[in-house]
């Protein structure tokens, strides 16, 4: 007789879901893993009411319209290239509107204890909000720069510009509400990656000296570079965002894994986050040159300590990750030797290569910790039992 299989769900596991006895669930198989979720597709998506993002967008659009109506009632409004353009108006008001809705949604979700936001601490909100704000600024700048290249010298009348502004505000509001309702450690890791890489690229593209690469990587943060503020602020809040991520991950990780090794790994990552922020806080200007170099060296030392000790510090570390760690550590050491003993690598090339390897390894480490934190305290042992199919 044909058999079916059943899995008994522990009560503690069921209490962490919104499922009720008798519910119809959907089962899918993905990469040899079973995923069980609500059978209704709508239940799997954030429930965002239209008015939540459209009404604030309408309010901000009225402010946009009133401002430009007062400033410029007759002449067309340029798309980009002016202090009073669609780009600057949409960026300024869009960032404010998006941040207000992100913070409001985060607070509501946290108070109601619904969604993944409930697992974050209140102290995580400021760095998360600032990081989102900076990423929005980078995104707006890149978006309107591209439009400016495609539609050079384009301009529109007040009413057309206002419609464009409303669409932009509504889209930004929706994205920020959705982000706050789906915030997880993986999302924060992506924010960290976008913020660091996007901030550096933005500084490279907007700096006043096209020959910055002939100096060194730290030149982007010095007073000689017109975009130094963006570069330094990116580093400062990247460090704070990483601190938030480490804080979130290890609180969950230490529910299952305890001991000196986990605590040591946590504090090393705290120190690494502080070094990243300090490099932006103390740029390579004459008054901070010595401190900047010292902090940079501490950053390198901590990375090397992590790579060497990861075998003992990271719980259930895999052989593949260990091999990859030692290979990347060896490549970083080899680059340092080549840089010191020859003229093959310039200082900027050496710093960019070292940064690329170190940041890639750090993301892999955080990914491993995230997997342990996600499956560690939510892991329940179950057994698959065959049962007779009475329908046959």
**Both ends of the chain: CA-CA distance in Å?**
8
Residue located via tokens 């993301």: 363
Nearest one of 284, 193, 251 to 376, comparing CA atoms:
251
**Better-predicted residue by pLDDT, 189 or 178:** 178
Rounded to the nearest 10 degrees, how much is the dihedral formed by the CA atoms of 331, 334, 339, 340? Answer: 150
Buried-state track 321-357, b at ≥16 Cβ within 10 A, e below 16: beeebeebbeebeebeeebeeeeebeebebbbbbeeb
**What pLDDT was estimated at residue 351?**
74
Phi, psi of 41 (to 5 degrees): -60, -35
In this prediction, residue 375 has a pLDDT band, given cuts at 50, 70 and 90, of low
In this predicted model, what pLDDT tens digit does every residue of 16-40 receive, in sequence order? 676 777 777 777 776 667 777 766 6
**What pLDDT was estimated at residue 103?**
93
In this predicted model, what pLDDT tens digit does every residue of 191-250 receive, in sequence order? 777 777 777 776 666 665 566 556 566 666 666 666 677 778 878 888 888 888 888 888
Distances (CA, A) of 204 to 197, 199, 225: 11, 9, 10
Model pTM score: 0.72
Mean pLDDT of the chain: 80
In this predicted model, what pLDDT tens digit does every residue of 66-108 receive, in sequence order? 988 887 655 788 888 777 888 888 999 999 999 999 999 999 8
Helix (H, G, I), strand (E, B) or coil at 361: helix
Tell whether the model's pLDDT for residue 357 goes beyond 80.
yes
In this predicted model, what pLDDT tens digit does every residue of 60-69 receive, in sequence order? 999 999 988 8
**Better-predicted residue by pLDDT, 60 or 346:** 60
In this predicted model, what pLDDT tens digit does every residue of 257-295 receive, in sequence order? 888 888 899 999 999 989 888 888 888 777 887 887 788
β-bridge pairing 3-7 and 384-388: antiparallel
Nearest one of 109, 231, 87, 98 to 164, comparing CA atoms:
87
Q: Are 357 and 331 in contact (CB under 8 A)?
A: yes
């Amino acid at each position: 007789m044909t058999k079916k299989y059943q899995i008994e769900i522990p009560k503690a596991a069921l209490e962490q879901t919104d499922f009720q006895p008798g519910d119809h669930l959907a089962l899918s198989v993905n990469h040899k893993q079973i995923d069980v979720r609500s059978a209704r597709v709508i239940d799997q998506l954030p429930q965002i009411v239209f008015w939540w993002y459209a009404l604030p967008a309408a309010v901000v659009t009225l402010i946009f319209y009133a401002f430009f109506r007062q400033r410029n009632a007759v002449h067309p409004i340029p798309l980009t290239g002016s202090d009073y353009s669609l780009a600057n108006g949409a960026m300024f008001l869009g960032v404010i509107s998006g941040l207000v809705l992100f913070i409001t949604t985060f607070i509501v979700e946290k108070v109601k204890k619904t969604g993944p936001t409930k697992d974050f601490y209140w102290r995580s909100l400021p760095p998360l909000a600032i990081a989102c704000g900076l990423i929005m600024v980078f995104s707006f700048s890149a978006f309107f720069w591209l439009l400016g290249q495609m539609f050079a010298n384009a301009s529109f009348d007040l009413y057309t510009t206002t419609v464009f502004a409303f669409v932009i505000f509504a889209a930004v509001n929706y994205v920020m509400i959705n982000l706050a309702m789906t915030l997880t450690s993986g999302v924060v890791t992506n924010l960290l990656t976008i913020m660091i890489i996007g901030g550096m690229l933005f500084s490279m593209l907007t700096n006043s000296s096209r020959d910055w690469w002939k100096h060194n990587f730290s030149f982007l943060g010095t007073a000689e570079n017109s975009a130094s503020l963006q570069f330094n602020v990116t580093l400062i809040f990247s460090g704070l965002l990483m601190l938030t991520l480490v804080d979130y991950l290890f609180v969950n990780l230490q529910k299952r894994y305890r001991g000196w090794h986990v605590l040591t790994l946590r504090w090393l990552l705290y120190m690494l986050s502080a070094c990243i922020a300090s490099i932006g806080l103390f740029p390579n200007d004459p008054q901070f040159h010595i401190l900047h170099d010292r902090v940079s060296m501490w950053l390198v030392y901590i990375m090397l300590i992590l790579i060497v000790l990861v075998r003992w510090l990271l719980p259930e570390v895999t052989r593949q990750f260990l091999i990859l760690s030692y290979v990347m550590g060896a490549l970083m050491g080899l680059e340092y030797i080549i840089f010191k003993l020859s003229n093959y690598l310039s200082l900027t090339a050496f710093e960019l290569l070292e940064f690329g390897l170190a940041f890639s390894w750090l993301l892999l480490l955080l990914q491993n910790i995230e997997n342990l934190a996600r499956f560690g305290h939510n892991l329940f042992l179950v057994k698959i039992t065959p049962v007779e199919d009475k329908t046959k």
